[in-house]
């Protein structure tokens, strides 16, 4: 392998496919000798590729299926590799359990496999085969490992001992079929057939790609194509059943590929004769990025079109971060598998600790910072730093991966305190320290959406940047006004997203025949988006535009990434071209509520029909509790592997970016009255009709609990602000953030957080939320349904609550108890139905004893029954006002 560049690519691809045999083997009904999938030549390689255990038995036989993979799907590699290179690749991938000591490349794949697993397999324990381990007592069958389903990573955090759930054996899907299922038995007799079915679907897709004329022609495109396919088909296939099977084969393969690439670069720079790295050295760098100022950027806008413009601004940030990550990968000569995690405003990349990386990273960081400052001023800041990773930290022997995360987080936090240090110089003094605005509110002097003043020449007063007029698609009061170029791009992106996006085409060069043309496209239509000018060009294609884009392709659309949106589809839409990569991506909020005219709704329309007596907007923020602590301490030292962290991060992203859309689509009110402005990583921001938002929040929590296997260690907290429809969205966002903080500081019994705060009162999901909801519904039913119970009961409850608070504060006797008993007794006498009488009896008892409501104990709650009843009464009053029309 004299060609270093090509060797490097083969090392990466071999790492990505080294354990593909584990999947292939599950698709085979037989063992080695009876297999009809393995050729006789490859069966004969058993002694060459498979090590032996202490009983002189061949182990790790999955490597034979790994070798067979390259023979079976030879057509897939035809354009990217020569026959000799394909043989080299097959040997590299399959020899990782018994590498040739004279071939350092084979040793590097083995070492990468060990790093990915976090197990030092130089020990005898590490050499035990997974299905041999299942039969150490001489019981069971040789193929029992095929009956083992993958365990959800959420059940293994904090060393939970009881495993109750298993993952379905299926390809990626955004519905309940993809959720963990409760299963009592470790072995499932139906699993082998399901693994075979899954493998057959994977094999059919590989075969189809191999037959296409536009199959991958470079190793890079081939690797990216395989990475997407592996994600689609192997995220529910366990990488190992030797220990706890909570890491997917996909995440293990992805991590191994990243480690392999880094090890090659590190060993090449150090000129290592063998794949042996001293324990004191740090061969890797974990690079982290954290974007701050997101809230101010997204929500600090004005005008009636805020609802429409927010979507474009929110998604623009996602494109921006994606572009930055790709820019760093290209600059550091890394691949997609090196992305450990990227979502929301943060990302992590695994890189080699080489002089090239250490020199290039600061330069790339400075260029990104300059681009960001030039486009967005000082609103946004991206902290980028790195932390060395030692072999001992990977193995959890002297330090852990958790400490690496923690150290990097501290560096990023410190960098945020010295914002723009990379771009600050004497020539920038005026930008940071001198007045930048002329002042005044004259028409045309400020951005109509953000209210930012246009940059002007201090000598002439003329504009230093182009401004763009708002057109007929904007609100009447904004039409004809002008905005800055970044704002215009975000508005245009929001318009593009109004149609349900089916595909995203990403290219490192503009596709010239897809440029806007007044004769072909109409003004401003379907142009690419290139955030920060970093060279990543995005084209969004809606359901109704597929045929148009195919027809507009005046030739071959080459070297592009075509991603389906919110599906697991990896076949594209028949776009002509060569060397294309087909994949998928998830996007929270791909569909939006529309008016009768088909336009995205304004906030006034989201708040409810005009006939509603009480129109209010609900602003919801939610995120996962203690995620930072979980990354640092959630796994024991032996489980803190990059593969496991990757599995955890991806699983959270699936829920927020992917499945959240399904929750919204399944309810008519959610579809009509909620708008997902942002969802990804571990948090979300949603606006909509206030009462519908509360139901949406409850549905999210319930499904999140199901997704995380009802874990008592992993909760989700949020806050809802209830505001008028014309209330400034930035202030509403602040209010919902305050509510969320209350939820994060709430405790129910021994458990903290895992709450939703409403009307200034955080309620723990479960008993507190359930109790208040039930009280609210009972109050509404008796007041609104009976009509003989006056609405004054609501104000009476409020009066009692105020009395209770004052008496408790002043240390007075709780006379409110006797007053409540008297008032409710009188109300009972006036009630006509037996049901209403029982309702008042129950309230009187519960208020006086402060113990239960219909048998539900309050022992773990910090609230009195009256405090919870008061929240329920306020909630019921708002709902009843919302349900009444102005004509009543």
Residue among 349, 104, 337 at smallest CA distance from 220: 337
pLDDT reading at 248 higher than 70: yes
- Does the pLDDT value for residue 888 go beyond 70? no
**How far apart (Å, rounded) are the C-alpha atoms in residues 100 and 188?**
38
Tell me how far the alpha carbon of residue 199 is from its chain's centroid: 26
Q: What is the pLDDT of residue 885?
A: 66
State the average pLDDT over residues 844-868.
Answer: 83
Say how far apart CA 228 and CA 199 lie, in whole Å: 15
Map residue 718 onto helix, strand or coil.
Answer: strand
Task: Output the pLDDT for position 455.
Answer: 67
Res. 305 pLDDT band, cuts 50 70 90: low
Residue 254: pLDDT band with limits 50, 70, 90 = very high
pLDDT level of residue 126 (50, 70, 90 thresholds): very low
pLDDT of residue 119 exceeding 50: yes
Q: What is the pLDDT of residue 774?
A: 93
Say whether pLDDT at 754 is over 80: yes
Instruction: Assess whether pLDDT exceeds 80 at residue 760.
Output: yes
- What would the pLDDT profile of 860-874 be if each residue is shown by its tens digit? 899 999 999 999 999
Confidence of residue 588 (pLDDT cuts 50, 70, 90): confident
CA–CA dist 487, 495 (Å, integer): 12
Q: How confident is the model at residue 125 (pLDDT cuts 50, 70, 90)?
A: very low
pLDDT tens digits, 393-409: 888 766 678 788 889 99
Cα–Cα separations (whole angstroms), residue 745 to 271, 404, 713, 756, 856: 53, 27, 16, 11, 24
Over residues 281-300, the pLDDT tens digits come to 999 999 999 998 887 787 76
For residues 658 and 175, give the distance between their C-alpha atoms in angstroms, rounded to a whole number.
Answer: 9
pLDDT single digits (tens) 539-571: 988 888 888 888 877 778 889 999 999 988 998
pLDDT of residue 668: 95
For the stretch 644-672, pLDDT in tens is: 888 888 999 999 999 999 999 999 999 99
Can you point out the beta strands (E) in 447-558?
Answer: 467-469, 482-484, 501-507, 537-542
Instruction: List 292's β-bridge partners, or say none.
Output: 381
**Percentage of the chain modeled with pLDDT above 90:** 50
Cα atoms in the Cβ-side hemisphere of radius 13 Å centred on 30: 8
Q: What are phi and psi of 132, to 5 degrees?
A: -70, -35
Q: How far apart are the C-alpha atoms of 117 and 246, rounded to whole Å?
A: 12
Q: How far apart are CA 477 and CA 459, in angstroms?
A: 32
pLDDT value, residue 444: 57
What is the average pLDDT value for the chain, to the nearest integer? Answer: 85
What predicted TM-score, i.e. pTM, was given to this entire model?
0.90
User: Is 551 in contact with 526 (CB distance < 8 Å)?
Assistant: no
State yes or no: pLDDT of 302 exceeds 70. no
Instruction: Evaluate if residue 375 carries a pLDDT over 90.
Output: no
Lowest mean pLDDT among 229-243, 443-457, 618-632: 443-457
Mean per-residue pLDDT, 724-743: 93
Q: What confidence tens digit (pLDDT) does each residue in 453-485 have?
A: 776 666 666 655 556 666 656 555 556 677 777
Residue 171: pLDDT over 60: yes
Q: What percent of the chain has pLDDT over 70?
A: 86
- Tokens found for residue 28: 């085979």
Q: What is the pLDDT of residues 822-838, one digit of tens each?
A: 888 888 888 878 888 88
Contact between residue 262 and residue 340 where contact means Cβ atoms under 8 Å apart: no
**Cβ atoms within 10 Å of 813's Cβ, excluding its own:** 8
42-97 residue pLDDT tens:
999 999 999 998 888 899 999 999 999 999 999 999 999 999 999 999 999 999 99
């Amino acid at each position: 392998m004299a060609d270093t560049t090509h060797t490097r690519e083969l090392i990466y691809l071999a790492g990505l496919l080294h354990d593909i045999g584990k999947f292939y083997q599950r698709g085979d009904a037989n063992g080695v000798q009876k297999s009809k999938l393995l050729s006789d030549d490859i069966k004969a390689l058993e002694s060459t590729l498979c090590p032996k255990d202490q009983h002189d038995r061949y182990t790790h036989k999955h490597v034979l299926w790994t070798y067979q993979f390259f023979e079976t799907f030879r057509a897939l590699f035809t354009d990217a590799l020569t026959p000799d290179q394909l043989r080299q690749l097959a040997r590299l991938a399959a020899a990782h359990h018994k590498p040739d000591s004279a071939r350092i490349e084979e040793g590097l794949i083995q070492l990468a496999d060990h790093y990915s697993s976090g197990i030092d397999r130089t020990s005898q324990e590490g050499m035990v085969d997974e299905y041999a381990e299942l039969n150490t007592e001489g019981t069971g069958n040789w193929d029992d490992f095929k009956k083992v389903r993958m365990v959800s990573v959420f059940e293994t955090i904090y060393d939970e001992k009881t495993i109750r759930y298993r993952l379905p054996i299926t390809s990626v899907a955004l519905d309940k079929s993809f959720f963990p299922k409760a299963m009592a038995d470790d072995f499932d007799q139906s699993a082998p057939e399901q693994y075979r079915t899954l493998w057959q679907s994977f094999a059919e897709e590989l075969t189809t790609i191999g037959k296409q004329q536009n199959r991958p022609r470079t190793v890079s495109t081939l690797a990216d194509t395989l990475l997407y396919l592996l994600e689609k088909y192997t995220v529910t296939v366990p990488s190992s059943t030797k220990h706890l099977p909570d890491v997917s084969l996909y995440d293990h393969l992805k991590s191994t590929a990243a480690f392999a690439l880094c090890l090659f670069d590190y060993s090449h720079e150090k000129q290592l004769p063998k794949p042996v790295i001293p324990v004191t050295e740090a061969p890797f760098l974990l690079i982290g990025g954290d974007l701050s100022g997101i809230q101010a950027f997204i929500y600090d806008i004005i005008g009636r079109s805020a609802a429409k413009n927010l979507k474009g601004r929110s998604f623009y940030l996602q494109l921006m971060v994606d572009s930055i990550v790709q820019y760093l990968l290209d600059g550091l000569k890394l691949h997609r598998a090196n992305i450990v995690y990227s979502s929301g405003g943060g990302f992590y990349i695994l890189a080699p600790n080489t002089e090239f990386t250490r020199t290039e990273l600061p330069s790339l960081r400075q260029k990104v910072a300059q681009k960001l400052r030039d486009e967005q001023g000082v609103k946004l800041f991206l902290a980028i730093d790195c932390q060395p990773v030692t072999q001992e930290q990977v193995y959890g022997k002297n330090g852990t991966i958790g400490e690496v995360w923690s150290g990097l987080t501290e560096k990023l936090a410190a960098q945020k305190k010295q914002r723009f240090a990379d771009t600050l110089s004497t020539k920038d003094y005026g930008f940071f320290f001198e007045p930048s605005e002329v002042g005044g509110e004259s028409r045309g002097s400020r951005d109509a959406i953000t209210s930012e003043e246009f940059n002007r020449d201090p000598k002439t007063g003329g504009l230093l940047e182009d401004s763009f007029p708002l057109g007929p698609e904007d609100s009447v009061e904004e039409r004809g006004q002008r905005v800055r170029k970044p704002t215009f791009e975000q508005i245009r992106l929001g318009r593009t997203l109004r149609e349900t996006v089916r595909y995203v085409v990403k290219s490192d060069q503009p596709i010239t025949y897809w440029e806007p043309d007044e004769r072909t496209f109409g003004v401003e239509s379907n142009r690419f988006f290139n955030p920060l000018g970093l060279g990543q060009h995005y084209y969004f294609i809606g359901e109704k535009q597929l045929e148009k884009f195919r027809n507009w392709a005046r030739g071959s659309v080459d070297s592009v990434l075509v991603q389906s949106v919110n599906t697991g589809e990896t076949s594209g839409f028949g776009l002509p071209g060569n060397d294309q990569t087909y994949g998928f991506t998830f996007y929270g909020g791909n569909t939006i509520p529309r008016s009768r005219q088909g336009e995205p709704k304004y906030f006034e329309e989201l708040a409810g029909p005009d006939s509603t007596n009480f129109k209010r907007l609900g602003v919801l923020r939610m995120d996962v509790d203690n995620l930072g602590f979980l990354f640092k301490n959630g796994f024991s030292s032996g489980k803190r592997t990059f593969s496991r962290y990757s599995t955890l991060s991806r699983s959270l992203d699936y829920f927020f970016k992917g499945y959240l859309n399904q929750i919204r689509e399944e309810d008519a009110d959610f579809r009509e009255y909620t708008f997902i402005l942002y969802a990804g990583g571990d948090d979300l921001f949603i606006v909509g009709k206030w009462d519908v938002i509360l139901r949406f929040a409850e549905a999210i929590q319930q499904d999140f609990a199901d997704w995380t296997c009802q874990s008592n260690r992993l909760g989700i907290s949020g806050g809802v602000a209830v505001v008028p429809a014309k209330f400034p969205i930035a202030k509403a966002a602040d209010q919902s953030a305050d509510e969320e903080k209350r939820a994060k500081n709430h405790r129910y019994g021994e458990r903290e957080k895992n709450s939703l705060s409403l009307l200034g009162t955080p309620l723990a999901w479960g008993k507190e939320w359930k109790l208040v909801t039930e009280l609210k519904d009972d109050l509404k039913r008796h007041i609104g349904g009976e009509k003989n119970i006056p609405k004054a009961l609501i104000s009476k409850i409020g009066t009692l609550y105020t009395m209770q608070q004052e008496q408790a504060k002043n240390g007075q006797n709780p006379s409110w108890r006797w007053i409540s008993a008297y008032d409710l007794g009188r109300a009972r006498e006036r009630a006509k139905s037996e049901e209403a009488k029982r309702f008042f009896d129950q309230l009187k008892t519960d208020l006086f004893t402060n113990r239960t409501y219909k048998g539900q104990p309050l022992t773990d709650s910090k609230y009195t029954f009256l405090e919870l009843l008061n929240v329920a009464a306020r909630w019921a009053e708002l709902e009843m006002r919302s349900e009444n029309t102005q004509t009543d």
